[in-house]
Amino acid sequence: MEPLNVCIVGYGGIAVFHCEALQQIEGVRLHTVVGRRREPTDAFRRRFGFLNARIDLAEALADDDVHAVVITSPSELHVDQSLAALNAGKHVLVEIPMAMSHRGAAEVNGTAHRSPGRLMVAHTRRFEPVGRFAGDFLHSEKAGAVYQHQSYSYWLRHENVGWTGYQRSWTDDVLFHHGCHLVDFSLWAVGADVRRVKGELSPLDPTIGTSMDVSLLIRYANEAIGTISLSYNSRRSSSGNRFICENGTLELAGKTVTWNGETVFEAAEGLDDGVLAQDQEFVAAIREGREPSCGAGDALQALEVLQQVYDQTTTAEGVEKYRRMWER
């Protein structure tokens, strides 16, 4: 088996997860890491045994020995970096969001169809043990029709600090980044086209520079209703999913899934192999010459929903209260 040489773009917390996962996949070699600053990029290279460390993505993409690129950089860079990698003929696994707008996502989707490289979007919740179990359960005959999906994610983010505790040089986004997690999971789990969307977004916070709260309502073509809510203002972190179905209620909380109040699945404590399962799918798709699960078209659907929420809010109240720093 010829080695698959991988370039990682970024050296943050999610890049660590990808490196640890890729090191467990047979035939994969960590070839090049690309970072913004030389010192931490070199330190990351040494930590994971990369052959090269670069601060210029173009140099890495010009290397014929690089076969695949995993993009873990700040969200607003994903479009340009994905386009550059695809145009260089590389396979691409890009962290969510694929773009910070539907327009940017459509551009990546179109380029992915023309490129010889495969593109996969890292909607990891589809691959986590609890998510996989819930998806299989809902898509079986046990649950029956889904009437409602309720999903929420609340935590405190009054400083521009990520989940690792690291002070970020960039601003996160509750709608297009974290909303992307919940919306994609709802679309995938319910498994129906979207008929209409209604949403509300809070104005930009003057300190953080982004909206802090969003709620949206999805009406699916199969008559299911999705209710999704996120907040950066909650001093008590909490998250969960509830599917009200024809034959009962399925609830996801942490590593546990219950059906009508009884536990039907529990992931092993400490086990979180969603990134590994996802990266294995990416590598398998490349090896087998097929489209990966969760390609650009799938990600485009979630971003279309989120774009509608943004457009509805700015149309109703004016763009200045909500304007993002990025265009794509």
Structure tokens belonging to residue 319: 């763009």
Confidence class of residue 246 from pLDDT cuts 50, 70 and 90? Answer: very high
Contact call for residues 247 and 142 (beta carbons, < 8 A): yes
Give me the sign of the Cα torsion angle 236, 237, 243, 248: negative
Q: In the CATH scheme, what architecture does the domain 4-123+276-291 have?
A: 3-Layer(aba) Sandwich (3.40)
* Contacts for 289 with CB less than 8 Å, ≥ 6 apart: none
- Higher-pLDDT residue of 324 and 55 is 55
- The crossing angle, in degrees rounded to 10, of helices 102-114 and 78-87 is 10
Structure tokens belonging to residue 70: 């995993």
Contact call for residues 40 and 53 (beta carbons, < 8 A): no
pLDDT tens profile 20-57: 999 999 999 999 999 999 999 999 999 999 999 999 99
pLDDT tens profile 57-113: 999 999 999 999 999 999 999 999 999 999 999 999 999 999 999 999 999 999 999
Confidence class of residue 166 from pLDDT cuts 50, 70 and 90? Answer: low
Q: Which CATH class is domain 126-274+303-321?
A: alpha beta
Beta strand extents in the chain (DSSP E only)? 4-9, 28-34, 52-54, 68-71, 91-95, 119-122, 146-156, 194-201, 213-220, 225-231, 233-245, 248-253, 256-259, 262-266
Please provide residue 52's backbone torsions phi and psi, each rounded to the nearest 5 degrees. Answer: -135, 155
Q: What share of the chain has pLDDT > 90, as a percent?
A: 87
Confidence class of residue 209 from pLDDT cuts 50, 70 and 90? Answer: confident
- Higher-pLDDT residue of 207 and 260 is 260
Q: What is the mean pLDDT of residues 186-212?
A: 94
pLDDT tens profile 256-301: 999 999 999 999 865 568 999 999 999 999 999 999 999 999 999 9
If DSSP states are collapsed to H, E and C, what string results for 223-259? CCEEEEEEECEEEEEEEEEEEEECCEEEEEECCEEEE
User: Among the listed ranges 130-139, 166-175, 201-210, 298-307, which one has the minimum average pLDDT value?
Assistant: 166-175
The pLDDT assigned to 272 comes to 62
Alpha-carbon span 76 to 52, nearest angstrom: 25
Alpha-carbon span 62 to 67, nearest angstrom: 11
User: Among the listed ranges 3-7, 209-213, 247-251, which one has the minimum average pLDDT value?
Assistant: 209-213
Q: What is the mean pLDDT of the chain?
A: 93
The pLDDT assigned to 92 comes to 98
Amino acid in position 35: G
Please provide residue 92's backbone torsions phi and psi, each rounded to the nearest 5 degrees. Answer: -130, 130
The pLDDT assigned to 118 comes to 96
Contact call for residues 267 and 153 (beta carbons, < 8 A): no
Structure tokens belonging to residue 197: 């969307």
The pLDDT assigned to 165 comes to 54
The pLDDT assigned to 294 comes to 95
* Pick from 144, 137, 139, 133: nearest CA to 247: 144
Q: What is the mean pLDDT of residues 303-312?
A: 96
Q: Structural domain boundaries of the chain?
A: 4-123+276-291, 126-274+303-321
Residue 308's alpha-carbon distances to 175, 184, 209, 262, 304, in angstroms, are: 11, 14, 21, 37, 6
